[in-house]
Amino acid sequence: MRKRFPEFLSNLISKTRIISGKKTATLRIRLSGDYFFKVITAAVAFNVFIILGFMVYKIIEKSALSLQTYGLGFLLGTTWQPFPPDPSRSPVFGALPVIWGTLVTSAIALLLGVPISLGIGLALSEFAPKRFTYAVSFLVELLAAIPSVIYGLWGIFILIPFLQNSVYPFLQATLGFLPMFQGTIRGPSVLTGGIVLAIMIIPTVSAISRDVFAAVPNNQREAIVALGATRWERAKVVVSYGRSGVMGAIILGLGRAVGETMAITMVIGNQFNMFTSLFDPGYTMASIIANEFTEASSPPVYISALMEIGLVLLVFAIVINVLARLIIWRSLKIVRGAEMT
Amino acid sequence: MDNVYRVFYFHVEEKVKKMNYKTIAIMEAIILIAVIAGFAVYTMYFTKQSVKLSGAGATFPAPLIQKWSQVFNDLTGVQVNYEGIGSGGGVKQHTEKTVDFGATDPPMKDEEFTAAPGTLHIPVTIGGVVVIYNLPGISVKLNFTGEIVADIFRRNITRWNDIRIRVQNPNAALPDAGIIVCHRSDSSGTTKVFTSFLSDENTVWKNNYGAANVISWPQDSLGGKGNPGVATLVSQNQYSIGYVELSYALSNNIPYGKIKNAAGIFIEPKVESLATAAAAVSLTLPAGDQSWASVGSYFNLHTVANPGESYPITSFSYIIVYKELNVISGMTLEKAKALTWFLWWITHDGQHYALGLSYVSLPEAVVAHNEATLRMITFNGQQVNNWT
């Protein structure tokens, strides 16, 4: 791509020469079809840079006030009080509890969702009969297409009563010695949020890991089978061969979990809280924005503080995605390198 | 990643290849022309000559205003488009003069009023906040005082059989169970009304939590988005307590408690007791073109001479318009007449539609007050309409 661009530009210049020069007939032929298509698609593709750049610029601009007022304290503070009871005091914004909530729910999502997703990926690429593969692939992709508000509703009306009445009491009875399973059991809680997120990241992680496993060269499988390996051993080889690709898949899943808004808002309990128990209600960055942005018209620093949470979220998202890209590229290179030799 | 999409689009591509591209192009062109022609015909014949009014603001009265605009359109052909974007947005758009009328639950604050000089406040309906709870086996309506409700929501009273609750409810067998507090997580006028009431009734509440659209609640409470979110939390958690808008509780049959008012009576929130509260404050209402900030986000019955059977957490929802309508760009005499007519209609005949949607209709005294306000409306200095 880097090489083609100047060539494409010089093309444009030579075309203009023709226009100012002589024949209109050649001009029509040379400018029609492919060339125009190329220009249009390039212009459309370039929009991505403009949109992203504009978004980053706007978010930084809007959060400038909060950045100046609270500095680093914004990330470390644990109080969120846009309207202090004493009106003469200025508002206080500290985002640590929402960052904490986002990290913990995402971690739970990965912990529960990744093993299931890898299982799906392995089954689809290694063991399952073709017809079954189509059916499961279809269903997994269907999961990705369900709007997140549906996950939220399902979480409230089906998952929460079930977890609250059966699973959580059992967890507390067996693992109650751990601080994270102590305290009063609440249906809408950090753990519920994490479980819903786990289900939501399964399509992403399993689809990518299936592709990663499918890209493992067959000679690897043949070699290990020839050595008399069992299916389990074969699976181990496939996974370890594609491990960096799997890492990439996991990180993309993490990206999805971090940014999820609607479903998590409906099941996490929306409480600004430095929780220690997973049964406590919590809050995430995305859901505090969704909850409070609509009516945050004054004071100006309030909107700015919400924007700064958006900025933190954006930084999270960019870091996660760049990391995932790097890892996936590396893994594909390794795989391709192996194919050549 | 690429493989995912390749699998997905493979079949589609195959099919497209089989069709002739020319056929596809012609089909698309025909569809496009048909859509454009249809749209042109539609705009020519169906929206002919109708006057259009736009409004935006509070979400609480939105269903009622939309019902009004629908019936009013059937009656007169005037189109009223209302968007429920929140009270803050309503005041903002009114101040920026981008809508013909705004709507807000709390009256405009003094600084907002000075930013939009010549604003008229027209109360159009009445709202109330009710305390809902989930107590299995208790069928009587529980009695609360403002003081006790504040103590519960600030986690000072943590069990249902606390002596302070039992004293007010000698007939209820209150369980020895921990109270789960549920509140609105989104920025909401309902929270503002509720916490304003708690602040006036309980000084500890006032000093620690205050009154606002968003406050920092005690750590072990649960937040739900919107009235449905809080109602779901309460219905799913035994021994929980929360607060919602009365119209929501009524239309969803959620049990709620009685609250003691300034006259010392426990009042059940219902249409009548809310209307009584509005009638009780109607004597103290400022003139329509004055600042209404003194009315506050709810009716503080301690400042009213004779509260009687008034429910203590009651408030108006307002439509705000300019006294001189020519300040709004695109305003014509015809539009000004339609707008004033609409406002007159909703505060009179339109009130009959309130009850069906679980809203409270305005008492006579407030309607009379609105009549005086609506007569102030002018366009280019001329009174728009002179009703008798």
Q: What domains can you pick out in chain A, each with its CATH number? A: 96-339 (1.10.3720.10)
How does DSSP assign B172-223, residue by residue? S---S-BPEEEEE-S--HHHHHHHHHHHHH-HHHHHHT--SSS----TT-EE
How does DSSP assign B277-300, residue by residue? HHHHHHTTPPPTTS--GGG-SS--
- pLDDT value for A293: 85
In terms of CA atoms, which chain A residue is nearest residue B3?
A: A211
Average pLDDT, stretch B36-46?
79
**How crowded is residue A30: how many other Cβ atoms within 10 Å of its Cβ?**
16
pTM of the shown model: 0.82
Q: Cα separation of A267 and A147, whole Å?
A: 15
The residue behind tokens 């309409």 is B385
Q: Cα separation of B336 and B325, whole Å?
A: 7
The verdict on ipTM greater than 0.90 is: no
Which of A236-240, A320-324, B260-264 is predicted with the least confidence, judged by mean pLDDT?
Answer: A320-324
**A204 touching chain B per CB within 8 A:** no
In this predicted structure, the answer to whether residue B181 has a pLDDT above a threshold of 60 is yes
Q: Do B186 and A160 touch (CB under 8 A)?
A: no
Q: Which residue in A92, A134, A295 has the most chain B C-beta atoms within 10 A of its own C-beta, making it the best mutation to test that interface?
A: A295
Dihedral of CA atoms B227, B189, B94, A305 in degrees, nearest 10, equals -100
> Å from A93 to nearest chain B CA?
11
**B186 touching chain A per CB within 8 A:** yes
A104 band by pLDDT with thresholds 50, 70 and 90: very high
Beta bridge partners of B122: B319
**B207 touching chain A per CB within 8 A:** yes
**A82 touching chain B per CB within 8 A:** yes
pLDDT in tens, A44-98: 999 989 998 999 999 999 999 999 999 889 999 999 998 888 888 889 999 999 9
**A295 touching chain B per CB within 8 A:** yes
**How crowded is residue A91: how many other Cβ atoms within 10 Å of its Cβ?**
18
**C-alpha radius of gyration, chain A, whole number:** 26
> Å from B153 to nearest chain A CA?
14
Which residue, among B263, B264, B277, B312, has the nearest Cα to B130 in the 3D structure? Answer: B312
Which residue, among A333, A341, A321, has the nearest Cα to A244 in the 3D structure? Answer: A333
Q: Are B382 and B325 in contact (CB under 8 A)?
A: no
> Å from A283 to nearest chain B CA?
9
Average pLDDT along chain B: 88
- pLDDT value for B7: 47
